[in-house]
Copies of this chain bind each other. A is one copy, B any other.
Amino acid sequence: MTPDSLATDDVEHLYWSIRRIRRVEEEIARLYPTDVIRSPVHLSIGQEAISVGVIDALADDDVIACSYRSHAAYLAKGGSLKAMMAEMYGKDTGCCRGKGGSMHLISTDAGVLGSSAVVGTHIPMAAGYALAFKLQDKERVGGVRVAAVFFGDGATEEGVFSETINFAALHVLPVLFVCENNGYAIHTPLAKRWATGELVERVKTYGIPAHHVADGDIFRIRALTAEAVASMRRGGGPFFIECLTYRWREHVGPAEDFAAGYRGREEMLPWVLSDQVPRLGAMLDAGTRERIDREIEREITEAVHFAEESPFPEIKELLTHVHAI
């Protein structure tokens, strides 16, 4: 898809967003072996276009829910990089005050509902938000807020996915389901988990508009989201997008894992070739690109520094937040 209608500003923003995510995660990967981050990290490297494309078509006060593989969506939605880095380091200034860790990023300001490490649990949570929006936003200027939920191919196997899809369709909820199908659940390929690949067809049987994006095209993802959001703002029901993608690193941890034997590097190649980061970069002039790159590096350095300098939570924090008071 070519972004005919896109202003340069838009491309700049998209490039900044995706490049920033990529670089943040590369930096996490670089730091990880030094043990400053003692929390399991699930990198999105290679998959960022989905988060960036979807979220670019959302409004600030729309919300998103994510799995443990949430860095990309959290950043794309506007979650603070400093608070994220500090959370990775287990610091008191982290977005969860050191009580979440890498798998549980949240930003209520930016509309990141929170990420959950139990596969699929966040899917109905997003529908619950959508239900609340439907009730709360009847008179809202600009229409109903929308909840988008990102989940992996594996998550669709959990019963809660089917249950939520049915409920969302039945109650015409403003929820956008985004399946990031990277072909694996940990190391187990689809062939060992899915009877067929007809996920989109299945979702359609619930009366939900459902689309398949096979090539990771960020503009297509963005356009589909825009279509979905426009409909939901006016009271339309749920929408489903399945995006094929590829995880370049190991399931959890910083490294590549093609030596492990469960998949070959050749699988990654087409995805490297169609990588949206350089694609977007090439749409900008070199000066702009370099300026953005520099800004990103500076921000990352600052965020790492912030995380390093921040204090750990005090021990008395252990017993705060057990109950809301």
Contact = CB atoms under 8 A, between A and B. Distances in A.
A194 B162 CA distance: 12
A16 to B, nearest CB: 39
A201 B170 CA distance: 17
A126 to B, nearest CB: 16
Contacts of A208: 195
A35 interface: no
Contacts of A178: none
Interface of A is mostly: helix
Contact of A201 (B160, B166, B167, B205): B205
A202 B157 CA distance: 14
Given A160-B159, A162-B162, A166-B157, A196 B202 contact: no
Contacts of A157: 163, 166
Contact of A194 (B161, B170, B202): B170
Interface in A152-179: 157-163, 165-167, 169-170
A206 interface: yes
Contacts of A161: 159, 162
Contacts of A158: 159, 163
A115 to B, nearest CB: 21
Contact of A206 (B160, B163, B195): B195
Contact of A205 (B165, B205, B207): B205
Given A159-B160, A195-B206, 8 more contacts: A159-B162, A165-B195, A167-B195, A170-B192, A196-B205, A196-B206, A198-B207, A202-B202
Interface of A: 157-163, 165-167, 169-170, 192-196, 198-199, 201-202, 205-208
22 contacts: A157-B163, A158-B163, A159-B159, A159-B162, A159-B163, A161-B162, A162-B162, A166-B194, A166-B195, A167-B195, A169-B195, A170-B193, A170-B194, A170-B195, A195-B206, A195-B208, A196-B205, A198-B205, A199-B205, A201-B205, A202-B206, A205-B205
